[in-house]
Amino acid sequence: MKTTSNHVRRLTKLALLIAIELVMRAIGLGAVPVGPLNMSFLTLPIAMGAILCGPLEGMIMGGIFGILSLTDAISGRSVMTGTFFSISPLHTVILCVGMRMLMGLCCGYVYKLCAKADHKGTWSYFVGAVSAPLLNTLFFMSYIVLVFYRCDFVQGLVTKLGAANPFMFVVLLVGVQGLAEAAACGILGGILAKTVDAVVKK
């Protein structure tokens, strides 16, 4: 009976987080244009799903985020991923969906590892939350460099930014936006996940 109750509780939390992610997307927090990239806060519910439910749920949440990102590529709403889709639809699906699923999965395992060492439950929530945007940037940009770095669109950005190598290209392109996204999601995600977890356990 207890196992069934826990299962229902996890599914309920997952459904609520998916709804939150869709609402955030609908009100414009899914993709805030900042240069050629979009600043996204959709990693926030992904982090919460990974922390509150587990790595598998984090992967599912990442998949939802990825599908939303893929629709931007297909519709041309995102210039960068739209260009990548015209070059290789398959690699764009892997970039938008596969990398986000991997991010959600890894975020869950990061939190689980930290929680084992965080006996008082103080800092593991924040580390787990901040890992989502950081891993999202790491996997997303790494795949771009691996597959699309030589395409004309990316090389145009490389020239514009004055990047001497792929690493500097990522640093210059992500820049302050990546740090702001990670800080915001890390702080908010940590506070919300810790609060919700404490309420649910009562």
| pLDDT per residue as tens, the chain (202 positions) | 556 667 777 788 888 888 888 888 888 766 566 555 566 778 889 999 999 999 999 999 999 999 999 999 999 988 999 999 999 999 999 999 999 999 999 999 999 999 999 988 889 999 999 999 999 999 999 999 999 999 999 999 999 999 999 999 998 888 767 777 788 888 888 888 888 777 666 5
State the residue range of the domain holding 63: 2-201
43: phi then psi, degrees, rounded to nearest 5: -75, -15
Number of compact structural domains in the chain: 1
Around Cβ 11, how many Cβ atoms within 10 Å? 12
Is the CB of residue 103 less than 8 Å from the CB of residue 141?
A: no
